[in-house]
Amino acid sequence: MADSNFIDYVKFCSRSGAGGAGAAHFRREKHVPKGGPDGGDGGRGGHVILRGNSQLWTLLHLKYKKHAIASPGKGGEGGNRSGADGKDIILDVPLGTLARDAETGAKKVEILKDGQEVILTSGGRGGLGNSNFKSATNQSPQYAQPGEEGEEEWIILELKVLADVGLVGFPNAGKSTLLSVISAATPEIADYPFTTIVPNLGVVSYRDYKSFVMADIPGIIEGAAEGKGLGTRFLRHIERNSILLFLIAADSDHIAKEFQVLLNELAIYNPELLDKQRLLAVSKSDLLDEELKTELKSELPDGIDTIFISSLTNDGIVELKDKIWSAIHSAN
């Protein structure tokens, strides 16, 4: 994992700029020896801002950024001249990024749209100059406001992959192979568990130039919600998917039991995942003849639309795309 380009968790210190001080200044000119107050306001301190960027899909560029420090605002000047605002720090992040307070875990902001900008840490307000305090009873105020201090906080950014379809299954169920067959994605494929250790996204072409996005999520094992295997590290990516496509291999010991284990892990992690629309694909069905398929149908779980597929022979792939497309649009 250390060498992976997919980074979905970073922690850094976010510090906004302090506001500039207001000026306590009086107008002084050759023919106006006792002019009134003309101190300008201080500038706002710089914000730390998150901006959605649809061209990014990982937080890798922020992995080594331990501090994001915005500039302070400038102080006000005479002649009612306001100080310049501090320069904002803008951090581009992938869509699906969630920012949390590192100490409390509380959600702060969420980025879901390209170009969306949200202030993560607000800069301090600039102080008011003395011209703001002139009144009928106080014609020559001698004071001005100092600028507000900036804020400093530790932030955790978590990325939850945005996709129409999330592939859910045990290691070696054939998820990566399916993704490589129906999209241009090139995930690592091998005959051993946990070949996929980071989510992979693929754009699947459909009829009439339509398309949808499929995510291959690293395999789940029983106990993943308690930290076994790859644990909950990638379960959060399933939260963003419109529908869930469960993939169970045809050579499984018992399809219905494996399906129930997968459901249980999702329910332990987040019960709301069970509200998502779901499909079941029995992969590696090229290993089956018609008689074995008929026998396996008695093992299929109730209440879920199921299809037999083979990524090797492309059997059932077109029908699977049709079912996925229909499910996506009925879920929206």
For 59-88, write each residue's pLDDT tens digit: 889 988 999 999 999 999 988 999 999 999
In the beta sheet, which residues pair with residue 157?
10, 99
141-145, 147-151, 203-207: range with lowest mean pLDDT: 203-207
pLDDT of residue 208: 83
Distance, CA of 205 to CA of 31 (rounded, Å): 78
Query: The pTM is what?
Result: 0.68
Distance, CA of 250 to CA of 63 (rounded, Å): 40
Reduce the DSSP state of residue 118 to 3 states and report it: strand
- How buried is 195 (Cβ within 10 angstroms: 0-12 exposed, 13-18 middle, 19+ buried)? middle
Confidence band (pLDDT; 50, 70, 90) for 193?
very low
Q: What is the pLDDT of residue 232?
A: 53
The confidence score (pLDDT) of residue 192 equals 40
Question: Sheet of 89-93: strands edge to edge?
Answer: 89-93, 48-52, 117-121
pLDDT confidence tier of residue 152, bands split at 50, 70 and 90: very high
**Is the pLDDT confidence value at 225 over 50?**
no
Average pLDDT of the chain? 84
Is residue 197 scored above 70 in pLDDT? no
User: Residue 138: helix, strand or coil by DSSP?
Assistant: coil
Per-residue pLDDT, 66: 93
- Looking at per-residue confidence, does 104 or 162 come out higher? 104
The yes-or-no verdict on residue 160 having pLDDT over 70 is yes
| Segment among 16-20, 95-99, 133-137, 219-223 with least mean pLDDT | 219-223
Mean per-residue pLDDT for 215-235? 57
Q: For the structural domain made of 1-159, what CATH number should be given?
A: 2.70.210.12
Average of per-residue pLDDT across 254-268? 87
Give the separation between CA 331 and CA 172, rounded to whole angstroms.
28
Query: What number is the average pLDDT over the span 242-270?
Result: 88
The model's confidence at residue 4, banded by pLDDT at 50, 70 and 90, is: low
Higher pLDDT, 295 or 237: 295
3 pLDDT above the threshold of 50: no
Q: Minimum mean pLDDT among 2-6, 124-128, 176-180: which range?
A: 2-6
Of 83-97, 142-156, 275-289, the range with the lowest mean pLDDT is 275-289
Tokens of 156: 């955790």
Q: Could you give the percent of the chain with pLDDT greater than 90?
A: 42
Residue, of 193 and 307, whose pLDDT is higher? 307
pLDDT of 253 > 50? The answer is yes
CATH number (3.40.50.2000, 3.90.550.10, 3.30.420.40, 3.40.50.300) of 165-331 reads: 3.40.50.300
Angle 114-119-125 from CA coordinates, rounded to 5°: 150
> What per-residue confidence (pLDDT) applies to 231?
45
Q: Name the more confident of 100 and 160.
A: 100
| Domain chopping of the chain, boundaries | 1-159, 165-331
Residue whose tokens read 């968790």: 9
Predicted local distance difference test score (pLDDT) of residue 296: 84
C-alpha 94, offset from chain centre: 6
> Given this model, what pLDDT does residue 121 score?
97
